[in-house]
A and B are shown apart, each in its own frame.
Chain A
């Protein structure tokens, strides 16, 4: 056993040429591996009964063991173990029926025990994989090296007082899963998509809430560059990157920084770096020389973690539907394109919302109203789906009115706006404002006849240029206050104008 934590990097695939970074001295390839810390969704902490809820007054969620009090002992939280196993199963990973907790020793005021309990040599989850979209639309498999359970540290607050640091131990002892990828990522987009898909997966599994603002998921991104297929470069680790977008930006910046140094004849120092969200740059946090000797050894307060195979199989049998399976189902059940299905399953909230909107209605109309109209409005107003003023049921109501021909698409857009303004249901608005679509062919014919009588030159023109039909449809819709059924208008116009 060694005390270094450098994984054995083997079998490096070469990036596709379109992923290479072109430069004056030739092409470069980016190699990325990620360690994602995901806070396990659980009521209590990894080794104590204290609340693991986010927030709370400082030091209000702290058990004696979380504060490192003398004689206090850790006791494993079985639910957290179940959550880790669930995550492993979701990644198709090997579940290690025997795993062990080690102590990682270092001093810091927000680390009350003077060590972090982690799994160093024998993690609970072994190898697995996650499918991720590459920038050319193809899918790649990113290997998962391992997942281990460990304690979070507390929080040091340096800016409350010029001379003192305050410590909040509410996070101390909360359970984290460290999900370690293999260095299989070859571009910023792949890195961002890996993080995005991983977040989607844990949210489906409900093993982590994926809430970036609360620090529930953060990535340490390891970046190195090399000549395509050439010798591996020295890697730098960018700590605590907390959004999909920043992951991509950090990889791009860091790769370019390294390439620049190498092309100037310099060498890369192995170091830990920070990503500055304001500048989009990375900067040195600590160099390898400052690296701690963590003196890992098995925690003598805890027994090895031994799982029952039947218990694991029971968790496997009760796994929820996961994004990949759901995507395939959306394509077959709703007839959606791969792209549309991908957008919808990217977040569990989207998928659940969509299925309610589409229930018993036209699935494609449901998709476009959700992803184009609703998402468009939400984006413009900087809101999340969870903050949508229109519920899935309400949007479903609108889609239903379109599907059964009660209103047409044009009217629907007005109704949509009014739904947002008033909070009323679509049917209520349509009734109140008399927006029901006219399918009365007699009325539509009369309106067409009147228009033809007043626009004889356009009639002649349309017979010459069938493209004029659009103008005619517009005139009819205008004349009927937009309520005419466009399909019927089309049909009658074609007949009357003699267009095939």
Chain B
């Protein structure tokens, strides 16, 4: 009897050890994600929150590494060349960055590895900007929909005698020039300018040139084929040069680094500055919410249908070609894009949803300015901004020769010729 009792107890203990303590723990996975968002930015904090959510319900840890904006493309080039580095990378839908990255072997296609279903992909905005038109490979997805807008300093506008309460949702070109002239007359630099690397020129060229077109696809021949110089190009380039010659940019900006552009606005060296969602919180922190106004990107002198529409582009994310954990990477991306709580946090920072199932107006946005802007967004006519379609050679020529053209060292036709020289 005693022997039976002892055997029974031993069997009980053995079965407990096998079933309760003997289960293998799933191996934990750590992913590395490179992003351009600064360490103290609100958008990075939201990404950390998404990473925490994922960690809570799975064995996946995402280490988010802030690499900053400057030199980020070069970092990605080095990673693609060496086929080593992080598991996830931030990229842009513009400058054909994410598509080029895919072709370089930086990112793997999301639609060819069972990482996303067809239905999931079809629910995403800006997917065309991530899709290689030659192969159909989808090299990533936008996780945030950036409207391109301008922020303005209300205090400086008031100093120049400009009533910001009467501002329309979007300036016509004449209205924009009028505001700039009044600011200049009051001794205030109207528009921020930091173009040493030529990145600012990309934006101006990309946001302004399409305003001469009716559809965004009309820019494609200008970015890929010769010749590009014609009346439209001459008009666009001359308008730009006239804007520069009128002294509407911060002085000396053609030798200031793009990293110092935002500082011109937060240090009140200029009254108007480009606004991308990642920057809104930085401006507000520096100047106070009551001093920062937002409006859509001004019409830039073009006479096409796109002149009164608003360009958008995506902050995107891709899974690297060499990662050993593509499924886990996909889960993190889905957390950013499909989790309504995370999307709500992004919207609060002005980064609008890419998931077509969410409307901006579904979310409660703090801050009166951003709220008003967002309320218009769902009804805003938008187009994916032009530099999603241009080649790297095209952007390189703009970087090199934009300032030469603005400074009068070369004419608009010579500027076009320099760009044509790099087009294959």
Q: Are A and B associated in one complex?
A: no
Using a CB–CB cutoff of 8 Å, the interface residues on chain B facing chain A are none
Using a CB–CB cutoff of 8 Å, the interface residues on chain A facing chain B are none
